[in-house]
Homo-oligomer: A and B are copies of this chain.
């Protein structure tokens, strides 16, 4: 592992779409955010909709008629890749907090093993990363600079700033404060869902924007009266909305995996690769880059998109910054396809 420690024969879950061409030069690697699985789009093997269903597919912006698309479930996650919820082969027990400190460099390096070791791809056409995945993607580009030609960063950053660190640290504290977490040794039949629900709600508050909610909910009252347990909860529509979001998520994600991946997001800093941000950017060997950011994003604010674009353009003249005026904040790349589709289409069409 990048910091310390070792994993014995880790597993990495991935999915692919399209065909790798004989020259092996049409591969696109996707790094998703903190919570999704590798299932970015439906396929013959799994017909259920993926988390980027409208972006990846035949005739779609990331066109599987042209590209061989690989999506990996981050190391440390709980959807097939080895993580804190996996069994440690040395002990026969789940890793839980004995899992080594996870970094996004580890996430990148494990994806490299799939790309290079498994598929024998020496150079990816493009690495695409969204949110935390943009930092994983940047880690890939800086550590495996010869293995990638183009980079698309979506609503991400060169490193976390204190507002985002504070939010994520508080989300972790919410889970850790739940007595059911039991210092990581929670009962699998009775996980710390109260803490997870709080963390998910805070997540949603930072994934969306105040402007969207003002338009969408205003001061509308909740119609879901069953939820009104006492005088302090779910009087307003926005409260019921968060309640529904939290109910869907908690239980679906292992709390320890969440802690590790959230912490890895805080730790990532391109400046660790060379001693400064400028030195980190200098290690990139990109032919083309696209940085997309959203003006209402409070978690990965637009200033950080500008910093990324400026830094990458110092070593890659064909760098484009797209500042989108989407209203739905950080999550826009998942929900505002009308804004993202043309920008990503244009990028892939312009590739030499």
Contact = CB atoms under 8 A, between A and B. Distances in A.
Interface of A: 97, 101, 159-167, 169-170, 172-174, 176-179, 183, 194-195, 197-198, 201-202, 204-205, 209-210, 213-214, 216-219, 230-239, 242, 259, 263, 266-267, 269, 298, 301
A177 to B, nearest CB: 5
Interface centre among A160, A177, A178, A216 (most CB of B within 10 A): A177
A238 B163 CA distance: 8
Given A162-B236, A235-B266, A179 B179 contact: yes
A9 to B, nearest CB: 24
Given A162-B217, A205-B163, A198 B169 contact: no
Interface centre among A161, A230, A231, A232 (most CB of B within 10 A): A232
Instruction: Please classify the interface of chain A as helix (H, G, I), strand (E, B), loop, or mixed, using the class held by over half of its residues.
Output: helix
A213 B159 contact: no
B161 A213 contact: yes
Given A161-B213, A166-B238, A238-B166, A173 B301 contact: no
A147 to B, nearest CB: 27
Interface centre among A169, A214, A233 (most CB of B within 10 A): A169
B202 A202 contact: yes
Nearest to A301: B210
Contact of A198 (B173, B233, B267, B298): B173
Contact of A194 (B177, B183, B236): B177
A231 B102 CA distance: 11
Contact of A242 (B170, B177, B201): B170
Chain multiplicity (copies): 2
Contacts of A219: 159-162, 165, 269
B198 A239 contact: no
A174 B198 contact: yes
Nearest to A231: B101
B263 A232 contact: yes
A103 to B, nearest CB: 12
A162 B214 contact: yes
A233 B216 CA distance: 35
Contact of A213 (B166, B178, B237): B166
A232 B261 CA distance: 11
27 contacts: A159-B219, A161-B218, A162-B216, A162-B217, A162-B219, A162-B237, A163-B205, A163-B209, A163-B213, A164-B210, A165-B239, A166-B213, A166-B238, A169-B234, A170-B201, A170-B202, A173-B198, A174-B174, A177-B178, A177-B194, A177-B195, A177-B198, A179-B179, A202-B202, A232-B263, A235-B266, A298-B298
Contact of A238 (B159, B162, B234): B162
Contacts of A201: 166, 170, 173
A97 B233 CA distance: 14
A301 B194 CA distance: 30
Contacts of A97: 230-231
Contact of A236 (B169, B202, B218): B169
A173 B233 contact: yes
Given A194-B177, A210-B298, A219-B160, A266 B170 contact: no
